[in-house]
Amino acid sequence: MKTKALLTAAAGAAVLATSLWSPEPAAAEGEQFVPGLQYRSGPYAPSGIPFANGFADYLTMLNARDGGINGVRIHYDECDTAYNNDRGVECYERLKDAGPSEPAAWNPLSTGITYALIERVAQDEAPLISMGYGRADASDGRVFPWVFTLPATYWAGADAIIQYIEEQEGTLEGKDIALVYHDSAYGREPIATLERLAEQEGYNLHTFAVAHPGLEQQATWRQIGRQLRPDWTVMWGWGVMNSTAIQTAASVGYPMDRFIGIWWSGSEPDVRPAGSDARGYKSLGFHAPGADFPAIQDIVTHVYDEGEGFGEREAIGEVLYNRGLMNAVFVSEAIRTAQARFGERPLTGEETRWGIENLHITDERWDELGLGGFAREIRITCEDHEGGGSAFVQQWDGESWEIVSDWIQPRNDELRPAYEASAAQYAEQNGIELRDCDAEE
């Protein structure tokens, strides 16, 4: 009996396994494939879900409202990475050939998965957009032709935060600044920049690592709130680490308006669990929060009223939702740019890459998209895969995020050499020859 049951199970598994062997394209020809490496499960799901919804809803809206991009419909398919690097790689390999056309661009929303994919996309000739995460030095397009870091890197973010603090304080000389960071590839990205600036500006940097997933922060905050009492605390957190940090900071009485997070530590799920304690908390941002944009209203009417929405209606306009949407805008605008040159048809990865590399979203273009004032002008070139880098500070008032600063332009004259030096080191280690951007048109 036992053996029989097992044998049937084995046979079933074998049938499924053979069907894995030959993945067949599921969708109609003539559509542009956009893969989604999202995470709707696992420890970071609360942050991953709104992002994934914003991304998917915008593409669905383009299909519903305009019939795609210039008549080319978008085929969107997603795979759940659970914020796990090897699952991310598996998802990448699975989706790579699963669409009706070559994938337009990969957006893994994870610094770790970005690192794991950098070599693969170079081999497979597919562009990789790490929007505000990933490897900062990948903004040097001569070494990383396939990777894009628009609209800002972590190093630019660190620079912007320090500029903001300097503006508030007058001078940074002798000030204490603490960094609370997620102990992973992601959290460690800003340290080098902050250390460099500490030397330059004369502040004292204290770093506090928080182990994944970030539930244990009592000791960290006791040190910060009761002993060190720094003038400012900067946070590089993600997922549950953010909300835990804000709650623990409040429980030791650290002043919220001197606590500032990177753009991944500033969304609604981060501040809501702390309730009124979170009032005054600040974070960076590079796009406006809220749903008062014509394009987002189009999502409501064309997608949610039709019952096609991915998430809850109430979550539209949340920070991470809008960020997913912004990522989708970058992908779709890159496709549009590339179509203008290569024709209105599904594009290859190589062609989309050209599209991203020549992407130029002006303020007028944001207006045309129905997103006037949503984000800043972005211009990518062959050398500069970041294309902007500026950010602003937003503050939680207990109900919603309010923008409380002007756009802060990072000091690119200092950052650029740092990107290039780091990229050059990578190029040397991996035997990559620099692209000659002047030779290309």
Least Å distance, CB 272 to other proteins, is 7
Whether the Cβ atoms of residue 146 and residue 376 lie closer than 8 Å to each other = no
Does residue 222 touch other proteins according to CB under 8 A? yes
Q: How far apart are CA 221 and CA 414, in angstroms?
A: 32
Least Å distance, CB 345 to other proteins, is 25
Q: How far apart are CA 54 and CA 322, in angstroms?
A: 6
Least Å distance, CB 158 to other proteins, is 11
Cβ proximity to other proteins: between 188 and 336 the closer is 188
**Contact letters (x/-) for other proteins, 408-437, by CB under 8 A?**
--------------x---x--xxxx-----
Cis peptide before 103 (omega within 30 of 0): no
Which residues in 270-369 belong to E strands, given as ranges? 282-285, 360-361
Q: How far apart are CA 296 and CA 317, in angstroms?
A: 8
Angstrom distances, CA of residue 42 to CA of 47, 162, 347: 10, 33, 33
Does residue 394 touch other proteins according to CB under 8 A? no
Cβ proximity to other proteins: between 223 and 409 the closer is 223
Helices first, then strands: H and E counts in the chain = 15, 13
For the chain, the distance separating the N- and C-terminal CA atoms, rounded to the nearest angstrom, is 70
The H or E element that residue 323 is part of is helix 319-342
**Site for other proteins, residues 33 to 62, rule: CB under 8 A:** 38, 40-43, 45-46, 49, 52
Does residue 189 touch other proteins according to CB under 8 A? yes
Does residue 253 touch other proteins according to CB under 8 A? yes
Does residue 19 touch other proteins according to CB under 8 A? yes
Given 3-state DSSP classes, what are the helix, strand and coil percentages for the chain, each rounded to the nearest 5? 50, 15, 35
Query: Locate tokens 């005054």: which residue?
Result: 280
**Among 67, 71, 202, 275, interactor with other proteins by CB under 8 A:** 275
Cβ proximity to other proteins: between 82 and 329 the closer is 82
Count of residues engaged in binding other proteins, rule: CB under 8 A: 92
Please write down the HEC assignment for all residues of 222-291. Answer: HHHHHHHCCCEEEEECCCHHHHHHHHHHHHCCCCHHHEEECHHHCCHHHHHHHHHHHCCCEEEECCCCCC
Cβ proximity to other proteins: between 97 and 292 the closer is 97
Q: How far apart are CA 351 and CA 354, in angstroms?
A: 5
Does residue 240 touch other proteins according to CB under 8 A? yes
Cβ proximity to other proteins: between 216 and 440 the closer is 216
Q: How far apart are CA 108 and CA 39, in angstroms?
A: 9
**Among 251, 297, 358, 412, interactor with other proteins by CB under 8 A:** 251
Does residue 218 touch other proteins according to CB under 8 A? yes
Does residue 389 touch other proteins according to CB under 8 A? no
Does residue 16 touch other proteins according to CB under 8 A? yes
Least Å distance, CB 16 to other proteins, is 5
The residue among 219, 177, 50, 42 whose CA lies nearest residue 113 is 42
Does residue 227 touch other proteins according to CB under 8 A? yes
212 phi, psi to nearest 5 deg: -55, 140
Cβ proximity to other proteins: between 226 and 360 the closer is 226
Q: How far apart are CA 33 and CA 35, in angstroms?
A: 6
Least Å distance, CB 269 to other proteins, is 5
Least Å distance, CB 56 to other proteins, is 10
**Among 141, 230, 266, 269, interactor with other proteins by CB under 8 A:** 269
**Site for other proteins, residues 85 to 124, rule: CB under 8 A:** 85-86, 89-90, 93-94, 96-97, 111-112, 115-116, 118-120, 122-123
Does residue 215 touch other proteins according to CB under 8 A? yes
Least Å distance, CB 340 to other proteins, is 31
Cβ proximity to other proteins: between 403 and 432 the closer is 432
